Amino acid sequence: MNYPVPYRKMDKWGFSDTEKILLIDCIYDDVISPFSKENFDLALVKIAGKCCWINTNGTQVSPLADNVFPFTKNEISVVIIDEKNAKEKQSTENCLFINRFGESVFKLAAIMADGFRNDMCIVYFPNHKYGAVNPKGEIIAAPKFDNFEAVFDAIGRPYFSDRNETPEENQELIKFEQNRYFGFKDGNDNVVFKARYFSASTFHEGTAMVAINSKAFYHIDSSGKRLYTKEYYFGFNYKYGIAKVVTDMPDVDPFVHERWGVDYYIPGNARWGYIDKKGQEFWEDQ
């Protein structure tokens, strides 16, 4: 299906169709996750400092919460209403396990949880101890642990997430690095594009985000052709035909702030927006 596209007016977000006609008013502070098949045709938005799921009609289907986890393959989203004060709470209505309609998947006396990983979810129980449950809500590690680390040790440290993600498609072109620059090879290890890019993503939906220099990012197709002429400060791969890009960034050197694990710094007050594969921009700054 063609999902509504995140649309920004100044600093507020809504959703439009592909012709930029608003379908859902720009009332949100942020779009955390656009509409997607992985999240069962819902979008995760932020309003008044809280998060909630909405459907394509703009109807809120989950309560406003401090933290909302993406849906698992079992159609479970963990919702933490009050995360800041959770450990002081006694109410078991603070942690919910819901489906795409906002309905409870199972009832569990839980105050807080950490989201599912490998069909296991670490839970903070009313006795102020940690344990773990499976996707049916059945307890697989009794609530007797004082911290997360101890539960991880007990259940085998399931680091990877159970997000309901579509498997990566076979890449027609494969990224490689040479002398700190990036290029692309085919499946037979033949160089198709020399390592000349300052930055490059993997190919997805037939395109990749590349940059010759910092603050000059754009998308190419598998022939190396640019999809549009404009350059952005930063950006991500296309998903469902749209890509998130930095539309406006303070005049900072992204390498002055370099730290472990981050090789290209985007300040928190940078502005983001979405583009389609023709480079059409879904935002207004006036």
Q: What is the pLDDT of residues 182-241, one digit of tens each?
A: 999 998 999 999 999 999 999 999 999 999 988 899 999 999 999 999 999 999 999 999
- CATH number, domain with residue 100: 2.40.10
CA distances to 120, 161, 165, 274 from 71, rounded to whole Å, are 14, 10, 9, 23
Strand, helix or coil for residue 148:
helix
Tell me the sheet residues that pair with 117.
120
Evaluate whether residue 165 is within a structural domain. Answer: no
Evaluate whether residue 253 is within a structural domain. Answer: yes
pTM comes to 0.90
Q: What is the pLDDT of residues 142-178, one digit of tens each?
A: 999 999 899 989 998 887 778 887 766 667 899 999 9
261, pLDDT greater than 60: no
Evaluate whether residue 10 is within a structural domain. Answer: yes
Closest of 62, 59, 55 to residue 78, by C-alpha: 62
pLDDT at 258: 59
DSSP strand pairing (283-284 vs 5-9): parallel
CA dist 208 and 241 (Å) reads 12
Evaluate whether residue 192 is within a structural domain. Answer: yes
Evaluate whether residue 168 is within a structural domain. Answer: no
Q: What value does the mean pLDDT take over residues 35-61?
A: 97
Shared-domain flag, residues 125 and 221: no
23, pLDDT greater than 60: yes
In terms of C-beta distances under 8 Å and separation of at least 24 residues, what long-range contacts does 18-22 make, across chains too? 18/276, 20/280, 20/282
**DSSP at 104:** B
pLDDT at 194: 94
Range of the domain at 24: 5-61
CA dist 195 and 199 (Å) reads 10
Using the 3D structure, point to which of 155, 182, 208 is the last residue of a domain. 155
Shared-domain flag, residues 76 and 13: no
Q: What is the pLDDT of residues 10-20, one digit of tens each?
A: 999 999 999 99
